[in-house]
Amino acid sequence: MYQDTIAAISTSLGLGGIGIVRLSGKDALPIAQKLFNRCLSDRRLVYGHITDPSNGEVVDEVLVSYMAAPHTYTRENIVEINCHGGPLPLQRILGLALRYGARMANPGEFTLRAFLNGRIDLAQAESVLDVVQAKTAASLRVAVHGLGGGLSQSLRAVRSELMSVLAYLTARIDFPEDEVEEQDVIPPLEEARHKVAELISSADAGMVYRQGVRTAIVGRRNVGKSSLLNRLLRQSRAIVSPVAGTTRDTLEEVVNLKGVPFVLVDTAGIVQSKDLVELLGVERSRRAIEQADFVLLVIDASTPLKASDKGIIALLCDKEVLVVANKCDLPRRITLDHLPWEAVSVSALTGDGLEELEERMVTSVLGGKVVTSDALLISNPRHKACLERAEAHLQQALSSVEAQMPDDFVTIDLTAALNALGEITGETVSDELLEAIFSNFCIGK
C-alpha cells in the first residue's frame, strides 16, 4: 500500500491566491511530467502550464517543484504543483494526477510516510498536527518544540538507561552459572521514574496550551455575563441590553490570554421560567457547565445574593471556579467570604479590574506555575497516558527489587515500561494505533 504514489490537495479548499497539489512516491515525477509542459529538475521551481493530455486543454498557469528522495518530507520523490487557489483548478489538477497513476492520499498519509521512512518519530509526527492546529503563539511554541524532537530526546535518554538495566538483569537470568558483575539497579530505576514523573507533571499545563480551556460564563439574569464576554474579547460580540434575559442561547468565542487559549461560552441566565425558548437556553447553560473545564461565576456585587445565585452555586460544587464580582463601579452590597472560591472585582462597563481577572484566569488554569519558553511540556493526552503506565511499571519494578523478588518479576515490569515509552516515539506501536492517530490529520498533510 505504501509503495503507491499518492496525491492530494495540501491547502484549504476555498477561494485563495495559491493552492497546492502534492504528489509523493516513485512515480511522482513521471505523472507530473505527463501533465506539465516543461522539464523538471531536482529542487528547481519551474513556471509553465498544466494541460490535459487527452485533449491538450490548458487547465492552469502554475509553478511546479520536484524534490528527489531521500531529502524530502516523506523521504520519497515529491512534486508540488502551485496553482491558483480556487476549488476548480485544484480539483481539475488533482483529478488528472489520479487519472494518470496516483491514488488519493489517506488522511495524514504524507506524514505517516515520513514516520514509516524514518524521517521523524511518532511524537514528532503528532506534533505536526499540533503545529497546524495551534491557537496561540505559546501553543505553537509548544508544538514546534515537540516537532523538533525535544520529547523524543528526553525519552531516548530514559529508554537507554532502562535498556542497560534490562540487559544486565537478562544476563543474570540467562547465564545464572556465569559470574555477572553485581550492579545496583535501584539508582537508575529511580532516576528513570523521576524523569518520567517530571514529564507527567508538565502535562496539565501542556494540554492547556494545546487544547485550550473551555470556560463557561454563568450567572443569573442581568449580572453582566455578555458584557464581560465583550470586554474579554475587546469587541462587541454578544448583544447587551438592560432587559433581563437578552441571552437565550450559548455563544462561543476564543480569546488568547497570555498565550493560553480560552474558549469562552456565554450562557443564558439560569432561572425558573415557563417560556419554552428560555427553558431551552437554560438547559444549554446547564450543559455548558457540565462540559466546561473552568467556570467564571458572575455575580452582581451591587445587590445581595439572591436565591437564583445560590441555586447556580449549588451546580458548581465539582468545578474549578473563579468568582467575578461584577459592577464594582456601583456601591458594593455583597460579601463573598463564605464562598469556597477566589473572587475578583471587575466592572464590565468600565473595564476596571479586567487585567487582574485575566491574570487570575491564567494562574488558575496553569496551577500557579510559571512556564518558561524553553520548557518541555507534555501536551498530548495519549503521551500522558503512556507515561503514567510507564511510571506505574517502574514503581512496581522498584518494589520488586526492594522486596528481593526474582529478576524475572523485575524484567516483566521493565519491559512493560519500555513498551509504554516506545508507544510515544513509535518503537512499539500497532497498525491500529497508527491508523487511529493519523485519521485525525487532514488529507494532504
Sheet containing 260-266: order of strands = 251-257, 260-266, 213-218, 294-300, 321-326, 343-345
238/340 Cα distance (integer angstroms)? 29
Question: What are the pLDDT digits (tens) for 288-344?
Answer: 888 889 999 999 999 988 888 888 888 888 889 999 999 999 998 888 878 889 999
Residue 213, by phi and psi: left (phi above 0), alpha (psi -120 to 50) or beta? beta
Q: Pull the grid cell for residue 432.
A: 491500529
Listed in sequence order, the residues at least 6 apart from 34 whose beta carbon sits closer than 8 Å to its beta carbon are: 53, 100
* CATH class of the domain defined by 6-105: alpha beta
Select from 3.90.1150.140, 1.10.20.10, 3.30.565.10, 3.40.50.300 the CATH code of 216-365: 3.40.50.300
Least confident of 98-112, 177-191, 192-206, 353-367: 177-191
Helix (H) / strand (E) element for 345: namely strand 343-345
Pick the closest to residue 378 from 365, 366, 387, 367 (CA basis).
Answer: 387
Q: Could you tell me if 93 and 81 are in contact, meaning their C-beta atoms sit under 8 angstroms apart?
A: yes
Question: What are the pLDDT digits (tens) for 202-253?
Answer: 888 888 888 889 999 998 888 888 889 999 988 775 444 454 444 445 688 8
Assess whether the region 6-105 and the region 216-365 belong to the same CATH fold: no
Residue ranges covered by each domain of the chain: 6-105, 125-202+378-438, 216-365
Q: Widest CA span of the chain, in angstroms?
A: 88
Superfamily for the 125-202+378-438 domain: tRNA modification GTPase MnmE domain 2 (1.20.120.430)
Residue that has been written with the C-alpha cell 543474570 in this structure:
172
Q: Could you tell me if 112 and 125 are in contact, meaning their C-beta atoms sit under 8 angstroms apart?
A: yes
Residue that has been written with the C-alpha cell 466546561 in this structure:
292
pTM of the model: 0.81
- Residue 22 CB-density burial (10 A; 0-12 exposed, 13-18 middle, 19+ buried): buried
400/170 Cα distance (integer angstroms)? 15
